[in-house]
Amino acid sequence: MHLALIGYGNIARQLLAVLAREEALPARLTVLALPEFVAGVRQALAEDLPATSVADTEIVTDSAALIAARPDLVVECAGHAAVQAHATAVLRAGLDVLIVSIGALADPALQQAVQAAARAGGARAILPAGAVGGVDILAALRASGISAVRYTSRKPPLAWTGTPAETLLDLPGLREATEFFAGNARQAALEYPKNANVAATLALAGLGFEATEVRMIADPAVSRNVHEFAVTAGAADFTIRIEGHPSPDNPKTSQTTVYSVAREILNRMREVAI
């Protein structure tokens, strides 16, 4: 398999580590990085990949070079700006793109552009479940009629560092669970872009951004990122709660996100996909 990564930060590095443990490293790897990060990416790749693991590794600095490499799958794992900068061009060129930063699609213009580019290129924009489970049944139940999707994100206070929650709460001094956001999924994804990919995923799988209810809570009593959502639909009602272990290098990200992306890649490589 020829795999391309947009960005080579925390998620990408963990992803390759998972693929290595599964004995499923790609035969060829292309990494798209900003020019100022190329030296750092080259060093990180040398640390992460033994010389014999990936036969052909290439670093490129723009969408055109990535497209020219013709990978089998492109994985975006570099944030909302990367989706805006590269996804439409890559899709229009006929390459499937797995979008990790799903919250970027809360921008209606970008969502429409991604869909149009995929249609024009005969490609697919793939949205992984990421940090949450149950997206398969949520998407399936849409045809039965969904009347409500309610999502609550509960994280340790310091996991909200660098977000607007800092201006609303004394995060280091918080002693009890405090809700600081209540709104819809579009508001959540736009105001908290590094923390609301799950809200965007549930919205796209179910009722849409405006009708998906979101609450965000800083809770000193939890040590993990807790995702809970309840669905009311014509064919079934269900509630799911997941306590994701935060990534050691970025507490805003649940480790389950990496394994969700790995699952999509492994499904493309193996004889039986599940």
Per domain, the residue ranges of the chain are 2-127, 135-252
In terms of Cα–Cα distance, which of 132, 84, 151, 76 is closest to 254?
132
What is d(CA 120, CA 140) in angstroms, rounded to the nearest whole number? 26
* Beta carbons of 106 and 136 less than 8 angstroms apart: no
Average pLDDT over residues 188-208: 93
* Beta carbons of 99 and 6 less than 8 angstroms apart: no
Domain 135-252 has what CATH class?
A: alpha beta
Confidence class for position 245, pLDDT limits 50, 70, 90: confident
2-127 and 135-252: identical CATH topology: no
The β-bridge relationship of strands 225-233 and 212-218 is unpaired
At residue 146, the pLDDT reads 98
Q: What is the pLDDT of residues 74-109, one digit of tens each?
A: 999 999 999 999 999 999 999 999 999 999 999 999
* Beta carbons of 233 and 141 less than 8 angstroms apart: yes
At residue 251, the pLDDT reads 67
In terms of Cα–Cα distance, which of 14, 24, 6, 101 is closest to 268?
24
Q: Is the pLDDT of residue 272 over 70?
A: yes
Q: Is the pLDDT of residue 53 over 90?
A: no
- Whether 227 is a known active-site residue: answer yes
Q: Is the pLDDT of residue 232 over 80?
A: yes
- 2, 80, 86, 227: which one is catalytic? 227
Asked if the 2-127 domain carries CATH number 3.30.1360.30, the reply is no
At residue 156, the pLDDT reads 93
Residues above pLDDT 70, as percent of the chain: 97
What does pTM read for this prediction?
Answer: 0.91
What is d(CA 164, CA 79) in angstroms, rounded to the nearest whole number? 18
What is d(CA 221, CA 89) in angstroms, rounded to the nearest whole number? 44
Alpha helices in the chain (DSSP H): 10-21, 38-48, 63-69, 80-82, 88-92, 108-121, 135-141, 165-168, 185-191, 197-205, 255-269
